[in-house]
Amino acid sequence: MAVREEPGVYVLGCFERRITLYTQQVRALNLIHSLFAEERLKEGSKLAVIGGGAAGLAAAAGAAIRGAKVTVFEQASDLLAMFRNNRQRWLHPHLYDWPEEGSEEPRANLPVLDWTADLAGNVAERLLAQWQPLVQRHGIEVHTRVRRLQIHPGSSTPRQLTWNTDSFDEGDFEAVILAVGFGTERTLEGAPVRSYWEDDNLDRLIHASGTSKRYLVSGTGDGGLIDLLRVRLRDFRHERIIQRYLGERSLEAVRTELLTLEEEFCKERLQERDFFRKYKELPVPKELDERLREDLRGDTTAVLNGRDAFPLSAGASILNRFLTSRLMRLGGVRYESGTLSVKRVEKKGAYEASFLGENGKSHVEEFDDIIVRHGPEPALERSFKSIWKKAGARMRELAELDQTRRPLFRAEDFAKAPSGARPSTPAAPVNMRTPAEMPSPGDCFGREELTRQLVEEVLAEEPRPTMVLGPPGIGKSTLTRQASHHPEVVPRYGNRRYFVRLDGATSRELVVSAVAAVLGIGSEPQLWDAVKHSLQAAPALLVLDNLETPWHEDRSGTEALLAELGAVAGLALVGSVRGGERPYVPRSRPPIEVTRLDDNFALDLFCSIASKVDRKDPLLESLLREQEGLPLAIKLLAFAAEGASLENTWALWRTERVGLYERPGGSDRESSLSVSLEVSIKGPRMTDEARRLLSLLATLPGGVAQGDLERLLPGVARGAAQVLAKVGLAFFEKGRIRMLAPIREHVRRSRPPGAEERERVLTHYLGMAREHGGRLGRMGGGEASTLLITEFANIEGLIEEELDGKKATDAMDAAIALSEFMRFSGHGTSRVLQRASVVARSRGEAGREANCIWRLGDIALARSQHEARDLFEQSLSLYMLIPEPYSVGQTHRRLARIAPNAEARRRHIIAARQAWESIDRPDLVQQLHDELGDG
């Protein structure tokens, strides 16, 4: 907004209510669009942008594209300094607009500095990868480490600025944009100082047995509520919220009501204090609360504190308000209002918090940790005091209207520079910096043959482009680095071995920029020509890591670039690509496909990290078997086991699973399996249908027979399966499509299938158990046995899950039907039947409980007649209680067969005959006589 008292000065997004990266970018582009529309800026105008954060860069980029001569000033040593190194906070462009339409769209869809939902550090990398070419193309001047920047008094434009970097300088500008952000966070005396953008361990589970950590979270804005959710919900990730809690159609009425409440508040028909009561009255489905209750952490408790009498603030998003209200309703969070003061108690290693209420009374509680989220101190007040004094109050009042967070521009407004405009002269002279070093090879086990193949390709007299393919976490990057450090490769290429990470490169131009940066090429008007000239100078090895990123976003442009690189004489070009599909490059070699590690190499990898573990421990074999040879999963699990007992690691694995696939403080692709997998799951090659099938496959440890795909996802399953195989999240094997166990576990926890898909899966597999379970020993028994052996892992897994679900009755019946198969085939254990009997008892279903115990007796016959007798006697008591004469007779018949003496045998025969005579079944009485006589 314009500062009326200071001509030509504009303040960008320093006071607005909704603070997100996306809305700040939108406000920046809105401002630039308006300045050009009102001709306050024109082609060739000089613009100063003070602040190198996301808003400042968006404003600078937008203005430069429109033809302005832009200079950016930043006091830190780097641009995007606040969040560029954060690997924990998740940024999403639209999530805080939930439940509005389009809030789940992961892409910002901005014409300038576009990005996709990701960890903050990754988003920063992507923005900077797009920013650098704009600097070179449009001659944007960038000054960092700026000190003593002053806007000198003036009653008209241009405005004079002076500043210090390594030396003093000055300049005149037609417009000055203050994009200094919201300022530094407020602290509270006595409480820990914890910046929102610093990596922390709040969501790390506390492994000490019986330990519960008490948290106090002070602040009811989005920052406070997000950290509250992190300390109370297991495996909480912003990217999982919609899929885990809010994706069900049954929430439609809740979404509508939430939007209505927000509209009523904006029209001042509803007050802020009414939110808590209104949210409490929402028609929330029981399933959501059950899922939240299931995810509540047992190792933490939390109290939320705010100044106001009620906990739900209008300053927070609907999404965070809603989730917090549900946690409070479930008893997972308590609210304490009042002014907070804190004192550290060193002897206890704790904090005393005093809450002062409006009535002047206070009470004290003790906490293990305190998180303070009281918002920022205004940066404008600190850096530009005169402007703050003149206009601060008025601008804050205007900002409360929140009128600028929706785009006022069209994409084509920033599509290209005005006609006739020519690129400005680069601010910095053409230069060459020191090239980046090749990363170290890291641990590489079981890849000797693949390494040999890749080394042979690289050392060929005329190297041809080679692609390395494989699923996420399989070790493609490790293989390429290993080959690059091979003793025969190093002498051939020396320091002209280049490893280029393309995680944030989403176009041909950004690939060129990334390669140039690694080669050490600075600003250059014809950057691609400079890159080619550098690569042609002498033999070179160029490894393009994560090549799928630009290829997915800009297929034709990336393939054209690869074709040009492939034609460079003396260049050995290697690309690593996620999945089973590769870009087309002329003259390329057949791809090298990286597959799972075998058991011995998996053991070697694990023990190279957790070196004190006994290699022969049976628990280690069990633990590694469940990783199915995925190197990243094995490596991360080994880090979790290092310095701990294997028994404890095994116990943690049984309860936490995916929680062990992440190193403390690590949130990049190599230290977090979930981060690595989500890159593929959210990638542009994935379709909605493929994600639906992915969620289904995650519930089926045995995979899906290709012939069953259309039954589970009619009309789209085969195409979806093809996509999953190409992306590398699933693979075809022996007529089935399946997922590796660590991938399956991640998806199962984070992306449950929709209700309709889940229903189809249960109907198909539980129905299979009921239909074929009792056919063994009868006509078609061989076919039934083959089918059930193949599908047993799926059926058993679904029965176990659903015994606690809505279809517990169907699950119990399936378990009973499957018992005959288990008895004759030897597959499976009695665990499922035992659980089914417990569930039946808890539901008061004596008949099903008796059936379960009777089947357990049948299975026990193979081990011990004594154990079988006890079980048959238990089931007999239940059958007589119901009563169920047919089953009473059958149970006595079984007991007669294994009676310990003649008297017991005679007693059971008589009892069986009497039971069947009471229901007029002479056929059964005759069968009894033919088999056992009259006793």
Neighbours of 507 (CB within 10 A): 18
Going 419 to 420 to 424 to 425, the CA torsion angle's sign is: positive
408 Cβ partners below 8 Å, 6+ apart? 30, 33, 34
Spatial distance between the Cα atoms of 511 and 520, rounded to a whole number of angstroms: 14
- Counting Cβ atoms within 10 Å, is residue 734 exposed (0-12), middle (13-18) or buried (19+)? exposed
Overall average pLDDT of the 473-481 stretch = 93
* pLDDT tens-digit series, residues 32-65: 999 998 899 999 999 999 999 999 999 999 999 9
Overall average pLDDT of the 807-811 stretch = 92
Which of 119-123, 528-532, 726-730 has the lowest average pLDDT?
119-123
Residue with tokens 């789209």: 716
* pLDDT tens-digit series, residues 838-882: 999 999 999 999 999 999 998 888 778 899 999 999 999 999 998
Q: Is the pLDDT at 195 greater than 70, yes or no? A: yes
Q: What three-state secondary structure class fits 521?
A: strand
**C-alpha distances in angstroms, 128 versus 52, 93, 134?**
11, 17, 10
Spatial distance between the Cα atoms of 848 and 878, rounded to a whole number of angstroms: 10
For 67, which DSSP code? T
Q: Quick one: pLDDT band at residue 441, thresholds 50, 70, 90?
A: confident
Task: Of 929, 859, 930, 918, give the one whose Cα is nearest residue 887.
Answer: 918
For 714, which DSSP code? T
* pLDDT tens-digit series, residues 745-786: 889 888 899 889 999 999 999 999 888 887 766 666 778 888
Q: Is the pLDDT at 381 greater than 70, yes or no? A: no
Average of per-residue pLDDT values in the chain = 86
pLDDT at 673: 84
Q: Quick one: pLDDT band at residue 420, thresholds 50, 70, 90?
A: very low
Specify whether the backbone of 57 is left (phi greater than 0), alpha (psi in -120 to 50) or beta.
alpha
The answer to whether the beta carbons of residues 633 and 673 sit under 8 Å apart is yes
Q: Is the pLDDT at 115 greater than 70, yes or no? A: yes
Task: Of 196, 212, 173, 219, give the one whose Cα is nearest residue 73.
Answer: 173
Q: CA geometry: angle at 452 spanning 451 and 458, to 5°? A: 90
pLDDT at 202: 82
Q: Quick one: pLDDT band at residue 388, thresholds 50, 70, 90?
A: low
